[in-house]
Amino acid sequence: MVIAILGLGEAGSCFANDLAEMGIEVIGFDPNPIRKLHPTITLAPSNFEASKHADIIFSVNLSSESENIAKEIAPVLKPHQFFCEMNTSSPEKKKAIDTILKSTGVKMIDLAIMAPVPPKGIKTPFLAAGEYSAEFIEKVSPLNLTISGLENSQIGDAATRKLLRSIVYKGIAAVICEAVEAGENFGMKSYIREQISSVIGGNDELINRFVEGSKTHALRRMHEMEAVVEMLAAPLAHERGAFDPIMSKATKENLRKLAKISNQEVSPLGVRRLSYMQIRGGSSKGLFFQAKDLPSDINLRNELIVKVMEGTLHGDPRQIDGLGGANPLTSKVAIVSLSANPDWDLDYEFVQVIVGKGKVSTTQTCGNILAGVLPFAIELGMIKAKNSTTSAKINIVNTGGICECVVQTPNGKVEYAGEIKIDGVVGTAAPIICNYLETAGATCGSILPTGNNIDVFDGIETTCIDNGMPLVIMRAKDFGLSGNESKQNLDTNENLKKKIENIRLQAGFRMNLGDVSEQTIPKMCLISPAIHHGIINTRMFIPHVVHEAIGVLAAVSVATACIIPNSVCAGITANPTSNIQNSTFSIEHPSGEFSVNLQYEFIDNQIVIHKSGVVRTARLISKGEVFIPK
């Protein structure tokens, strides 16, 4: 059995993947296939080609495209094939498609999807109508699908039932959403929820399902209600007198409002749009989003971020159809929200897009991008700027820890211009002070997660450390290197990279990180004596290419290793001699140096870090809307 899936969006990709997992030969087409697909699925160059050799064709597209698709594939359809029209369309549109295909002899099925597709996928309940519905159900019986058939039915009958059902379900959900919002606005949240429960039964969990479902799927449900209104406006609906679907229209407008609030609106080009800012933070550059504008489901959120950066979920190292810069330092995302914790002001979650892989990592944070978080919040009015300077405490969601940031805000506006020069960035800018608190062992559990000052992997001595960024530090000379090699020289040294990766994989388990083969931490750092009056020289692998400079928290971890007795840094840099220290360390890197201030002390021969301070700069580069293909 060969099944063609025309349209590989949320529903179509779920169907395709599930069928492929069952061993069915699946041929798919989508003009922009951006969802992850089972490796056995064949992608055709067009709807026409996908339909040629299929036994069954599932059309899972937008209603607005359904008639055009029918016209496109009609020349290759044969009488032995089943064509399943699965779009949420009015009965009249389904009948129009049947008319287009009538001369081909293809067996058309009006196949309605009767429940949300995730999480059941191809096992989602379906309702089949049309002359060939019973034959179709028999044809797919080996697949054990959940299909009900309508006896003596016509094309459009399944669509009619689905849309009539939508009047009830979507209408109830719209009323609940409005009531919940009104109750919260009047400070009567508990009261209104009690009233809703007395009518529909259930509890807060059921109410939340109605509300969150309406918000998450607002755009799709709005189109569904458009089909409802179209159906009710058809001549058949008026046989018993004038009929104006006031409630269905209101439900449609309610969903339109929710779609707009959650940035699910579509542009004239038919793509979703999302508000963003692009900000250079330190020596990195990234996109900044408000958490409320992104899906609450983590997997959907991460897929959306990959689409924004790369334009596809299949991986594109050039990121040609997205906003990424084809480099790890420019493929970063910050997700920002006001914090619910009264002890700090903002929550910041960092997402690293793994260039060309169609996936992201959230196991680490980024101190460079963090430098742009407070300016972003001030620009949006999340934090009110004060005259002269504005400070805020930022909770680092990925790893824990707090950063106190101070931004220059003369006249109540962020000042980006200034005289501070940081290496890795052209020109100068205004200083942003970042004081990191509680970052020791933030990811691995302790500053020295293995419990040792030195660990040996493959005969190479290392220091495994985590003061905000998990690192494996190694002497460059132990690899036959000077430590002053260029980024290009190291990036093309495949033997060296293989040795370093083998060490990284072993160290991951010892550092409480588990299997790190699909992670971007720990980072790997080669050290050598400083050559420009710094304390140490570095070459940082992040983890498979060399950083053009050094990350903020990587620099903090390197500086911390420099003051730990008997680490691999011993003999390359001096160790502290006094018990209480407040020192600035200049960490050299390929494009200059990075200064880190550490406030620390040794208690019972154990290092205690009180504060790690750095100076960064930032610049707002652009803001607006990014258009995301379906």
Fold of 2-155: Rossmann fold (3.40.50)
- pLDDT at residue 576 in the model: 47
Whether 42 and 5 have beta carbons less than 8 Å apart is answered as: no
Mean pLDDT of the chain: 90
CATH of 272-438+620-626, one of 1.10.260.40, 3.90.79.10, 3.10.310.10, 3.30.460.80: 3.10.310.10
Give me the pLDDT at residue 227, please: 86
CA dist., res. 56 & res. 625, Å (int)? 39
Would residue 212 be called left, alpha or beta, if left means φ above 0 and alpha means ψ between -120 and 50 degrees? alpha
With cut-offs at 50, 70 and 90, classify the pLDDT of residue 241. low
| C-beta neighbour count of 130 within 10 angstroms | 26
- Is the predicted pLDDT of residue 287 greater than 90, yes or no? yes
Q: Is the pLDDT of residue 15 over 80?
A: yes
Distances (CA, A) of 94 to 97, 117, 347: 5, 21, 48
Judging by beta carbons within 10 Å of its beta carbon (0-12, 13-18, 19+), is residue 484 exposed, middle or buried? Answer: middle
At 219, is the pLDDT very low, low, confident or very high (cuts 50, 70, 90)?
Answer: confident
DSSP-assigned letter for residue 384: P
Rg of the chain on CA atoms, in Å: 29
Per CATH, the number for 455-612 is 3.10.310.10
Pairing of strands 346-354, 332-338: antiparallel
Here the tokens at position 178 are 């409005």
| String of DSSP letters for 521-532 | -SEEEEEE--SS
Q: Of 433, 458, 431, 471, whose CA–CA distance to 569 is shortest? A: 471
**Domain coordinates in residue numbering, the chain:** 2-155, 177-261, 272-438+620-626, 455-612
Q: pTM, whole model, 2 decimals? A: 0.55
Residue 271 has pLDDT above 50, yes or no: no
The whole-angstrom separation of Cα 147 and Cα 158 is: 12
Nearest to 399 by CA among 436, 424, 431: 436
The full length of the chain comes to 630
> Does the structure show a pLDDT above 90 at 476?
yes
Ramachandran sector of residue 476 (left: φ over 0; alpha: ψ -120 to 50; beta: rest): alpha
pLDDT at 578: 45
pLDDT at 527 over 70: yes
Name every residue whose Cβ is closer than 8 Å to that of residue 125 and which is 6 or more positions away in sequence: 113, 114, 115, 146, 147, 148
Which amino acid, one-letter code, is at 372? G
Confidence of residue 528 (pLDDT cuts 50, 70, 90): very high
DSSP3 helix / strand / coil % (the chain, rounded to 5): 35, 25, 40
In the prediction, which pLDDT does 425 show? 92
Mean pLDDT, range 538-544, rounded to an integer = 95
| Whole-number pLDDT of residue 213 | 80
Q: Is 146 left (phi over 0), alpha (psi -120 to 50) or beta?
A: beta
The rounded percent of the chain whose pLDDT value lies above 90 is: 67
Pairing between β-strand 42-43 and β-strand 25-29 as defined by DSSP bridges:
parallel
Mean pLDDT of 355-361: 92
What SS3 class is residue 266? strand
Structure tokens, 214: 């309406």
pLDDT of 105 > 90? The answer is yes
- Measured CA to CA, the distance from residue 312 to residue 272 in angstroms comes to 14
CATH architecture of 177-261: Orthogonal Bundle (1.10)
pLDDT digits (tens, 9 = 90+) for 137-149: 999 999 999 999 9
Residue range 389-443, pLDDT digits in tens: 999 999 999 988 899 999 999 999 999 999 999 988 999 999 999 999 888 998 9
CA distances from 77 to 74, 139, 351, 486 (A): 5, 18, 46, 60
The pLDDT-based confidence of 206 (bands split at 50, 70, 90) is confident
Q: Assess whether pLDDT exceeds 80 at residue 64.
A: no
Domains 177-261 and 455-612 share a fold: no
- pLDDT tens digits along 292-341: 888 777 888 898 999 999 998 888 999 999 999 999 999 999 999 998 88
pLDDT-derived band at 579 (thresholds 50, 70, 90) equals very low
Residues 628 and 304: beta-carbon distance below 8 Å: yes
DSSP 125-140: -EEEESTTHHHHHHHT
